[in-house]
Structure 1
Amino acid sequence: MTYHVRPLGPADRQLAWHLGSLAFGYAEQPVPEGWTPDSPGRRVLGVFDPAGRLVAKADDREQGQWFGGRIVPVSGIAGVSTAPELRGRGLARLVLTRLLEGARERGAVISTLFDTTPAPYRALGWEEVGALVHHRVPARVLAEIGPDATTTLRPATEADLPAVSEIYREVARAGSGLMERSGPAFGATPAQVLAAYHGFTVAVDDTGTIAGYASWNRGPGYDANGRLTVDDLIGRTPEATRTLLAMLGAWASVAPTVLIRLGAADPVWSLVARGDAKPESARPWMLRVVDAPGAVAARGWPRHLTGEVDLELSDDVCPWHQGRHRLVLAGGNGRLEPGGEGTVRLAPRGLAAWYAGAGTPQQLRRSGFLTGGDAGTDELLRAATAGPAPTLHDYF
């Protein structure tokens, strides 16, 4: 059977909504007013059968994520759906392969997604590199944390949001994988940002400077089931972090459970015992390199690391970067030049895990994603992406 692939537009809104609702369980919801599949920063590809029926689709979100202190252009994959009767027929592969071609043409160099099941995405070169985890912490544990006497808390105002955004950006810049919260995917106004939460609290130090913030929602009830869900709790200083956590602890009598998104190395762990914080939910996320030379050039690299490694990349989904390349690192910059001897051979999933800092060369060898090279090439590749564990705090 011959299928036709094309971008979806306003005329396809009902078809796209219906197919997505079957896959993700919102069939009873009407199409939102003003929603279209081609909203700013989003490109949706659809697959049509000969009868003109939409049988598969996938969304390409224009976004950025921080790696090595720089924003890397990303294709955020979402809304991947296939008609129930045609699953397992290769339609997801068809639409995702075409989507990656278009994403590369618009400038994306890597792709990330949250997977409901990893197998079909691994078959196309994505690899799991991290997870968005909500931890469940008893509020009574946080109540034992004493607030800082020189730090005050108050509700955020719209005028506070530039300072809040800069605090988040400082953390994102120093991390690995965190979203850049600007551009078409983050077009909410300050009023809309504040309205999305029951509480948006800023911590102010003794100089009047905003030193941290927490965004949170209060669940229903005031019995043993009462809870707070905290999307962000970020302190620029230990005093701000401690005081914000103490505020959450003060809810213990009416909301005894706090759900909070935390990365593996969050400073909150210096104040909360890991045995007291149980994972409530984990959403794994995956990464794929779309344009290897562009991806190497886009991210930052260790400033004091200088060296070269000859690589050979295999990739039948993104064949434009297959073959031999020389990785050259110097002064915090990197480039991937054509040529070299192909000393180290990387499969797409190995390239993804290495690029994200989610796997060392030794781990990739044991997984079968990396072959060739020696202790010297392993050491350089390990040092190149060593650092914070890949972390995402935004679901898409």
Structure 2
Amino acid sequence: MGALQRVELDTASLPSAPAPGVSVRPGEPADLAVVGALYETPARPRAALTRRGGAFDLPHEGRWPDGVDGLTVAEQDGVPTGALVYERGTGYGAEARLTVHDLLAVTAEAARALVGVLAGWRTVTRTVRLPLLAGDAASGLLPVERATAGGATAFMHRPVDVVRAVADRGWPGHVRGRVAFTLLDPVVTGNTGPWELELADGAGKLRRPDREPGLSKDPVLLSPGRLGLSLWTGPSDAGLGSGPDDPAALDLLACGPRAELLDYF
């Protein structure tokens, strides 16, 4: 399980500071391809739910998608390093709200520049609503302690192809280890059987082991929404795993960050 988090902030509370070396420019619908590329950097390590394929590959034919009024692109040395996608809304009074669909930055400088752009809306809109992703380049700049509203939408899903679910999930680069377990999957029976998870250098591999594991587990715990969610104590108490070996070995599954979303899928 993970969450899609949003927060509402008083626009006047947003910081505005110089960002040397960063230029910002108004974007066009053609620049939405840049947004898709920037989206991968923070999204992939947290849940592996990206914007590749399906509706995200459709051409925009020179117009904004529904609910989008504009785009600001941040560049450093001519390379896009941040993007702000927003919906202006209506009005200028206390009820006026700017809705941010994407606040993406791959450098601290780009994040500072884009938060400064948002702060510039303080004279025409009182509130800004934006996605919140813990630990990304922008979140540390936002005064979330002053949030007037917000909330999170929970998501949960289960893997069909467990090998690909592990390979595409994204893992911390500093963690190494391996653990063997038997997967019990009454729905996708091809997943059932012994597996060994190995993590190294930011990559995860799931392969068939050469020995019988002493632990068994439910396949839902290999979903991106579960990996990195908690230590093994909670799932074990919930009856999602068993076996004679010490279940603490499965804490390896919890070494990543908590699963988060940046978009609604």
CA distance in 2, matches of 1:279, 1:345: 42
Q: Which amino acid aligns with 1:265?
A: G
Overall identity of the aligned pairs, in %: 31
1:334 match: 205
Match of residue 316 from structure 1: 186
DSSP-derived class of the 1:288 partner: coil
1:285 matched residue in structure 2: 155
Distance 1:373 1:391 in 2: 33
Residue pair 2:183, 2:218 contacting (<8 A) in 1 also: yes
Counterpart amino acid of residue 10 in structure 2: P
Q: 1:382 corresponds to which residue?
A: 251
State the partner residue of 1:146: 17
Aligned partner of residue 38 in structure 2, secondary structure: helix
Match of 2:90 in 1: 220
| Contact 1:176–1:356, Cα closer than 8 Å, also in 2 | no
Identify the residue that residue 262 of structure 2 maps to in structure 1.
393
State how 1:1-12 maps to structure 2 within 5 Å.
none
Please tell me the residue identity of whatever aligns with 1:251.
W
Q: Give the deviation of 1:160 after TM superposition.
A: 3.7
Distance 1:372 1:138 in 2: 52
Q: Which position in structure 2 is the counterpart of 1:131?
A: 3
Q: Return the offset for 1:193.
A: 6.5
What's the CA shift for 1:390?
Answer: 1.1
Query: Could you tell me how far apart the structure 1 residues matched to 2:33 and 2:224 are?
Result: 33
8 Å contact kept, 2:229–2:259: yes
Structure 1 segments unaligned to the other structure (5+ residues): 1-128
The whole-number CA distance in structure 1 between the counterparts of 2:166 and 2:20 is 46
Alpha-carbon deviations, 1:24-55, whole Å to 9, x = none?
A: xxxxxxxxxxxxxxxxxxxxxxxxxxxxxxxx
Higher relative contact order (CA 8 A, sep 6+): 2
Q: 1:368 to 1:212 in 2, by over 3 A?
A: same
- TM-score normalised by L of structure 1: 0.58
1:204 matches 2:75:
yes
Q: Mark the CA change 1:193 to 1:266 in structure 2 (over 3 Å): closer, same or farther.
A: farther
CA distance in 1, matches of 2:142, 2:32: 27
Q: How many residues align?
A: 261
Q: Relative to 1, partners in 2 of residues 1:279 and 1:367: Cα closer, same or farther, differing over 3 Å?
A: farther
Aligned: 1:235 with 2:101? no
By how many angstroms is 1:158 displaced? Answer: 4.9
Q: Report the structure number with the largest CA radius of gyration.
A: 1
Give the root-mean-square deviation of aligned CA atoms: 2.8
Cα distance in 2 for partners of 1:394, 1:200 equals: 16
d(CA) in 2 for partners of 1:178, 1:294: 11
Q: How many angstroms apart in 2 are the aligned matches of 1:356 and 1:149?
A: 38
SS at match of 2:19: coil
Given the superposition, is the C-alpha separation of residues 325 and 192 from structure 1 closer, same or farther in structure 2, using an over 3 Å criterion? farther
- Structure 1 CA distance, aligned partners of 2:149 and 2:133? 11
Q: 1:27: which partner in 2? A: none
CA distance in 1, matches of 2:149, 2:48: 20
5+ long unaligned stretches in structure 2: none
Deviation by residue 1:280-302 (Cα, 9 ceiling, x = unmatched): 24221112022334534554556
Residue identity in the other structure for 1:219? G
Shift of the 233–294 alpha-carbon distance from structure 1 to 2, 3 Å rule, reads closer
Question: Alpha-carbon deviations, 1:148-179, whole Å to 9, x = none?
Answer: 25423211135544443322222234x22143
